[in-house]
Structures are given as C-alpha cells and as structure tokens.
C-alpha cells in the first residue's frame, strides 16, 4: 500500500489504494445504493436556487 498525502485538514489522498477490480467493485456498490436512493439536486429554502451538487439520502435518516 502506498503512503497517503493530506490534501486538506482531515482529507487524505491514498493513491493506488484500490486496484482496478477494487475500483470497479466500489462503483458497483455505489450504483446499487443509488438505485434505491437516487441522486437529487437540493434547492435553497428561500430562493429556490439549485445547489451545484447532487446528493443521495442513503443513510438511516434518508
């Protein structure tokens, strides 16, 4: 396993942590989760302006 690099406080980058098959398996797991809890674009409460990101409510409260 390679060494990690801290790109911001509390954010670690681990190059080559997963090999190709591990990355493909991770994408498969994420797609399975998103099939049950699809991505949505949240909006600001007062203005209705859309966020610049898409999110999923896949946790225990979502």
> 59: pLDDT confidence band, cut at 50, 70 and 90?
confident
**Rounded Cα distance, 2 and 19, in Å:** 12
> 1: pLDDT confidence band, cut at 50, 70 and 90?
low
> 42: pLDDT confidence band, cut at 50, 70 and 90?
very high
The pLDDT, as a whole number, for residue 60 is 83
Its pTM surpasses 0.85: no
Is residue 25 predicted with pLDDT exceeding 90? Answer: yes
The count of C-alpha atoms lying within 13 angstroms of the C-alpha of 24, restricted to the half-sphere facing its C-beta, is 3
- Are the C-beta atoms of 37 and 59 separated by less than 8 Å? no
């Amino acid at each position: 396993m390679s060494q990690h690099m801290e790109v911001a406080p509390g954010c670690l980058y681990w190059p080559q942590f997963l090999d190709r098959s591990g990355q493909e398996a991770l994408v498969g797991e994420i797609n399975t989760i998103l099939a049950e809890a699809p991505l949505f674009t949240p909006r600001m409460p007062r203005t209705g302006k859309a966020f610049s990101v898409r999110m999923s409510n896949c946790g225990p409260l979502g």
